[in-house]
Amino acid sequence: MKKLLLTAFEPFAGETINPSAEAARAIEGIDFTDALVRVAELPVDRYRAVDVAIDLIRAGHPDVVIMLGEAGRRYRINPERVAINIDDFRIPDNAGNKPTDEAIIEGGPVGYFSTLPIRSITARINKAHIPAAISNSAGTYLCNRLFYSVMNFISTESLPAIAGFIHLPYLHDQVIDKDPDVPSLSRDSIVEAVRLAIEVSLGPGS
């Protein structure tokens, strides 16, 4: 039986919900054939988020790691192609950390590519009439930091797991009091997109 770790983030930047956490909670109630899916909600904390995720990987030995996060101004589900070795937070995290132009790992590789089948994931989500596109920038906030740190851990420990990050737009609930041109997707669409990403990543039979 394959094992998959799905991580999400708590709300941040004044929001009361986070689409990644909402999707992850919904995924907990879904049965995947011949696969064990573990869900974890991470703190929006520069240090603790990475520590928790790596501890979960070390303890659980997942075959697949999918990290989810919110990217509120995006119009589509965005599987990320690459993580880069830089912390440059536009806003503080929930613990007040706000690094500027700092390496995530001093002397580490410039970047890591996702090892998820991002092309197939994107195609499958679009086939379900949910907008998705590969993104070439995971930003320089905590999502990128987590993505980079997890990929670095998997690489340096020579683990057989595949891993990557998927950014999610706002939920409809989050944009009611925002500018009318702020994009969002329905909860059902986001949950279904994540479910499909899991199925594709696990491979045939899931």
Residues marked as catalytic? 80, 143, 167
The H or E element containing residue 79 is strand 78-79
Question: Quick one: which H or E segment has residue 190?
Answer: helix 187-202
- 8 A C-beta contact, residue 199 and residue 193: no
Give the contacts of 123 (CB within 8 A, at least 6 positions apart). Answer: none
Picking from 80, 4, 96, the residue whose alpha carbon sits closest to that of residue 44 is 96
* Closest CA relative to residue 197, chosen from 100, 130, 151: 130
Say how far apart CA 206 and CA 198 lie, in whole Å: 8
SS3 40: strand
- Residues 53 and 204: their CA atoms lie apart, in Å, by 26
Strands 2-9 and 35-42: parallel
- Do 150 and 67 touch, CB atoms closer than 8 A? yes
